[in-house]
Every structure is written in structure tokens, then in C-alpha cells.
Copies of this chain bind each other. A is one copy, B any other.
Amino acid sequence: MIRADSRDFEIHAERQPDKRMVMSPTPNDRHSLALFTAFYELTMAQAYWQSGQTASATFSLFIRRQPTNRGYLVFAGLDRIIDFLDEFHYSAEDIDYLKSLQAFDPAFLEFLRSVRFTGSVRALEEGAIFFANEPAIEVTAPIIEAQIVENYLLNQVNVNTMLATKASRVIRAAQGRPVTEFASRRTPGLDAADTLARVSHMVGFSGTGNVYAAAHHGIPPAGTMAHSFVTSFEQEIEAFRAYATSFPDSSVFLVDSYDTIEGTRNAVRVAKEMRDRGSELAAIRLDSGELRDLSTRCRTLLDEAGFPGVRILASGDLDEFQIEALIADGVPINGFGVGTKVGTSEDAPWTDVVYKLVEYRGAPILKLSPGKETLVGRKQIFRFLDEAGEYFRDEIGLADESTMGEHVQPLLTTVMVDGDRHWSPRPIQQLRSEFSDRISRLPDRYKSLRAPASYPVTTSDTLDTLQKRIAEQVKETALGG
């Protein structure tokens, strides 16, 4: 059946999967996403099933630590997670593939064929602001169902939250100047590109350079010209003229292909020709060199030539730190395009997101691994607002604790009940406006780009008492009395 020899890490299938089962190498694969699970979820599922360990469990998804420089986190990814749970099932092809591994009991695979997600889910709202150790999602379901969805949920919360958080920092740094994302050429894969476009627009970006993502999510696409366009013409000025002819009312000329200052002079020449024909150049774009000095010189050139309305846009390996520094220096840059460093969340390319069993068969569960203790039981986050409506402090309590007063918001809401969706996706424009309101309620000291203050998150007395009792109990019984 299965073997574990000295060359293998853990359980390996005896045979390679049947070639006919191998999926096409495109994202339009015919295997179901239910197969996006860890192999150990399925081996555990068989062991649960064979040992009759199939009662209801609650798993809590949370981020263990605030990533570097981050004073807050922006939750995102709920849409796809609910879709995934709603549609969860193994296709005939999936089961055939699993059979081909000769690693599972055929009776278990027959059971697996019928598995659907029948559980309940409580989650933060899309675009909610949250902090380390706060449950972002709690899943309550028969343990096999709750267990095998782990990988997809973690993957999606990780990439969505990481990118939404990063992008919201860029918006803060830009202080109201528009920001567009041009990251899709260097995001780690297509999915990250699509995700970044969506969540960055939610937190305030003007648009995306990625047409697929723009179509997918209803986001304004944006873009101008590349160096290849300019250099394909014998003279830079001919490239500008050709572009102005095609886009008389919205041209942005990229001026640094050969020399930024000479390029700006060429832009001015074409801008005059455009004006003679009744249209105006929209902007120039700088993509290299010392942006402080260059933008100032370009601004002067444009103003002196009678083009104070032509904006200066900047791009080229920018992130929140560089934008903050440029603005602090008072550069005459009107808008920013960001790419790689934002699309990879370069300074914090992952979150310490985990999915932990916190209740089984109605009893609270605790893990004691060094540095990895979990908070037991089904929980709720209570957010206390001050009188101005600003976020003041959070308390993590048990799910059945009641809220205390009018300035307290419970943050987890029910989004699925018994496998049915109790929630519908909101238009991106609504999410954008909700996020704008939320981030304005978080005091500035938690939003600093470096060394932000630590937002107060405490645990309730009720949770503390339970946690202590379970810890003692586990120490007595779990390792065998």
C-alpha cells in the first residue's frame, strides 16, 4: 500500500499518479479546488473516520504575530473562502486520483466522495482591521470537514491580508496623492496579481495595471507606455506624437528612456502641438534616477513652458517608505505607481497565520508546543470605541459572552450556518468606502510605518479562567496519567 523508506520524508504513494489524471498546466484545471489540501489532512481524515473520531470541532484561524513594522492587519479573502466552502466537494477525477495513490482505504474514499461542507463559520468582515492573536475566522463543523479545508483558508487569508495590509500602508504614505498598482509582472504567480489588484483598490488605490484583474473585480484599469514603445521609434519625439494621436485627451509620456530632462523637453514640444490642436497633455512619468532632483527640474521646465497643469507621475521600485520620504521632502510628484515591493510585500512577505483546533465535542482544546500556545474555545472579539468613535482597545472573549455597552462592537459575524451561506459579497466600491471609514477610526500611533505603537488587545476574565483550567487539565491527562 504505502511505504516510508529512507529516501522519503513521510508517507509517499507507492505509484506515481496515473498519467491520465495529471491536470493541465493552466489555471483552468478540471480538478476541483477541494484537492487544494495538505496530504496529511486526508490521512488524518482517514484516521478520524476509522477511529470514529467524527464529532463537531471548532478551528480558529488567527495570525500569531504582527509582521515587521505592522501596527495593524487588514482582513481580506472572505469572498473566495465562502465560495470554496459552498462548492466544496471531490470530483470523480479527484477520487480516481486519490485511489491511484494506493494510500487510502477504498471505503474511506467512498465516504470522501460524499463529503460536503455542512458547518458554520463566523468571520471578520471583509476589510476589517484586526490584530495578532485575534480570531479572524472560526469554523465549526464535523472534524473531518473542518480539518480538510485548512490549507485553502490559510493560503487565502495569508495572501489577501498580507497584500491588503501592505497596500493600506502605501495609501497612508501617499497622503491623498493617487496610487496605482503595476505589480502584476512580478507578483509570485497569477493569483497574487489578481488578489493584489482587488485588495489594493479596496484600501484606496486608484486602479490597477492588470487588465484581467480589472475585468474580474470591476476596478479601473490604468497605464501609459513602456520604454519599448519609446525606443521602437527612431526618435523619442515621434513616439510621443504617435501616442498623442491615439490618446489626445489622456496621454502620459514616459520621459526617461534616454535622458529625463531632454525627454521632458520633447514632451513639452509635443504638448504644444497638442494644445494647437485643442487637447492637453495629461502627465509625464519618471521611472528612474534621482526622483527628488528630477521631478523638481521637470516641474520647472513644464511650468516655464506654460504647462502647470501637466502632472508628474513617478514609478520605479517605490514602496511606502520611499513615498513617505519623497513627500516629506516636498517633491512635486502628483501620483505614484507601485510595483514589485508592494506586490511581494517585500519587507514582510508572509504572515504567521495558523488554523488551530480550539474545541472538540463541546470541550475546549489547548496546544502547549513551546511558543505556540493557543487560546481555547469558541471566541469573539469585542472592540471598544472611544466617544469620538475611534478604536480604543480590543478584548478577546468567549463567543457566548455578551457585549458590554453601546461603544462595544463584536467583530465576528456569522457568514455560514449548516453549510448555507448567510452572507453575500459586497461591491468593491462599498468595501472601499467601509474600509476608508474603518482606517480613519484607528488612531495614528498604530499606523506609523515604522515601530508603530502596540494596540491593546487583552483577554476577558472568563477566557483567562477557562484557559487556566484547561491548561492544568491538559497537563494532567493529555500525556497519560
Complex interface bits, A338-366 against B, C-beta within 8 A gives 1, otherwise 0: 00100111100111010111001000011
Residue of B59, B189, B478 touching A192 (CB-CB under 8 A): B189
Tell me if A224 is interfacial: C-beta within 8 Å of chain B. Answer: yes
On chain B, the residues within 8 Å of A79 by CB distance are 25
State A80–B246 Cα separation when bound (angstroms). Answer: 33
State A258–B38 Cα separation when bound (angstroms). Answer: 23
Residue of B41, B186, B287, B313 touching A10 (CB-CB under 8 A): B313
- Select from chain B the residue with minimum beta-carbon distance to A335: B9
Tell me if A334 is interfacial: C-beta within 8 Å of chain B. Answer: yes
B27 touches A33 (CB 8 A): yes
Complex interface bits, A11-38 against B, C-beta within 8 A gives 1, otherwise 0: 1110011010111011111010101111
**Can you spell out 6 A-B residue pairs with CB atoms less than 8 angstroms apart?**
A12-B221, A13-B221, A25-B216, A59-B228, A189-B194, A288-B371
Asked if A188 meets B190 with Cβ closer than 8 Å, knowing A4-B283, A216-B31, A217-B22, the reply is no
Asked if A369 meets B25 with Cβ closer than 8 Å, knowing A10-B313, A184-B155, the reply is no
Tell me if A226 is interfacial: C-beta within 8 Å of chain B. Answer: yes
Tell me if A47 is interfacial: C-beta within 8 Å of chain B. Answer: yes
Residue of B262, B353, B356 touching A228 (CB-CB under 8 A): B356
B228 touches A27 (CB 8 A): no
Asked if A365 meets B232 with Cβ closer than 8 Å, knowing A193-B155, A221-B101, A344-B349, the reply is yes
- Select from chain B the residue with minimum beta-carbon distance to A317: B352
Tell me if A182 is interfacial: C-beta within 8 Å of chain B. Answer: yes
- Select from chain B the residue with minimum beta-carbon distance to A429: B16
B190 touches A47 (CB 8 A): no
B250 touches A40 (CB 8 A): no
B51 touches A245 (CB 8 A): yes
State A246–B1 Cα separation when bound (angstroms). Answer: 12
Complex interface bits, A273-292 against B, C-beta within 8 A gives 1, otherwise 0: 00000000011010111000
Residue of B17, B19, B212 touching A214 (CB-CB under 8 A): B17
Tell me if A187 is interfacial: C-beta within 8 Å of chain B. Answer: yes
Tell me if A404 is interfacial: C-beta within 8 Å of chain B. Answer: no
Interface residues of A in 221-257 (CB under 8 A from B): 221-229, 231-237, 242-243, 245-247, 249-250, 252, 256-257
A474 to chain B, nearest CB (A): 7
Of A9, A25, A59, chain B has the most CB atoms within 10 Å of the CB of: A9
On chain B, the residues within 8 Å of A233 by CB distance are 53
State A249–B42 Cα separation when bound (angstroms). Answer: 16
A386 to chain B, nearest CB (A): 31
A356 touches B227 (CB 8 A): yes
Residue of B43, B216, B263, B340 touching A223 (CB-CB under 8 A): B43
- A127-135, A202-210, A321-329, A413-421 - interface stretch: A202-210
Tell me if A311 is interfacial: C-beta within 8 Å of chain B. Answer: yes
B212 touches A33 (CB 8 A): yes
Of A79, A80, A229, chain B has the most CB atoms within 10 Å of the CB of: A229
Question: DSSP majority for the A interface?
Answer: mixed
Asked if A11 meets B252 with Cβ closer than 8 Å, knowing A211-B38, A242-B47, the reply is yes
User: Top 6 closest A-B pairs, CB basis?
Assistant: A189-B191, A40-B223, A39-B223, A9-B180, A4-B282, A228-B357
B36 touches A257 (CB 8 A): no
B313 touches A44 (CB 8 A): no
State A105–B162 Cα separation when bound (angstroms). Answer: 38
State A155–B187 Cα separation when bound (angstroms). Answer: 6
Asked if A185 meets B53 with Cβ closer than 8 Å, knowing A212-B33, A222-B39, A357-B228, the reply is no
State A235–B229 Cα separation when bound (angstroms). Answer: 67
On chain B, the residues within 8 Å of A218 by CB distance are 16-17, 19, 22
A58 to chain B, nearest CB (A): 11
Asked if A7 meets B206 with Cβ closer than 8 Å, knowing A188-B158, A247-B47, the reply is yes
- A146-154, A444-452, A457-465 - interface stretch: A146-154
Asked if A372 meets B288 with Cβ closer than 8 Å, knowing A16-B220, A223-B43, A480-B266, the reply is yes
Tell me if A405 is interfacial: C-beta within 8 Å of chain B. Answer: no
Tell me if A440 is interfacial: C-beta within 8 Å of chain B. Answer: no
Residue of B2, B33, B184 touching A38 (CB-CB under 8 A): B184
Tell me if A388 is interfacial: C-beta within 8 Å of chain B. Answer: no
On chain B, the residues within 8 Å of A367 by CB distance are 227, 231, 257-258
Tell me if A430 is interfacial: C-beta within 8 Å of chain B. Answer: no
Residue of B43, B178, B366 touching A231 (CB-CB under 8 A): B366
Asked if A221 meets B39 with Cβ closer than 8 Å, knowing A250-B2, A479-B259, the reply is yes
A12 touches B220 (CB 8 A): yes
